[in-house]
Amino acid sequence: MYHRKDLQCALKAVLQVVFEHARNRPVFFSSFHPDAAQMMRELQSLYPVLFLTEGGTSKHHDPRRNSFDDAVRVCLEYDLHGIVSEARGVLKNPSAVARAQESNLALLTYGQLNNVWEAVYIQYLMGVHGVIVDRVEEISDAVAGFGLGKPGLGRGGAGVDGAKTHQAQAFSQQQLGFLLRLIPELIEQRH
């Protein structure tokens, strides 16, 4: 457990480096530690701050970390810009996307499933704003045909650079059938 003073000292050191070297590069901060995310938001307003969550896929001593709904509450209470959830948490609970959108929060995902282009495509159709992947070139090539707009991050559907983020598409019956068969299979394979 971090003491507030120690946490503040560490975050100020990170900010000093970012302010000195980021220049015009897009930057956002994220943390699994709710207090660190809150403090980063208090210390600066230039860069978006997102709360990392496992999306309810595991339990923690800090109850703020135990579900996607808890993550939404943390973001709203601390005026954070969005959530970065483990992909399984979003795929197992598709209504999470709507909750993030209704709360005007950006939603990104991470995890092994994001190295499977079909899982990334499903998330795109669901309305997820972005994915964090290990195989950047491979996934970028695979998703190039999705018709994706310029990705962004921020409230109100606009990216950090002001670009409009994509809107979720309606599912056809064929897409829905495919998704209903594929999602459980992908989740079980990567668990």
Instruction: Give me the percent of the chain exceeding a pLDDT of 70.
Output: 75
Full residue range of the structural domain in which residue 75 is found = 4-190
pLDDT at 2: 76
Token pair belonging to 44? 């600066």
- Answer whether residue 153 shows pLDDT above 50: no
State the pLDDT at residue 191.
55
Start-to-end C-alpha separation, the chain? 29
The domain that holds 152 is classified in CATH as 3.20.20.190
- pLDDT at residue 57 in the model: 86
pLDDT of residue 141: 87
Of 53, 28, 42, 36, the closest CA to residue 2 belongs to 36
- Out of 35-44, 55-64, 123-132, 155-164, least confident range: 155-164
d(CA 53, CA 56): 8
Lowest mean pLDDT among 126-135, 155-164, 175-184: 155-164
Tell me the whole-structure pTM to 2 decimals. 0.79
* Strand segments (E) across the chain: 29-31, 49-53, 82-86, 106-110, 130-131
Instruction: Pick the most confident of 40-44, 92-96, 120-124, 152-156.
Output: 40-44
What distance in Å separates the CA atoms of residue 118 and residue 116, rounded to the nearest whole number?
6
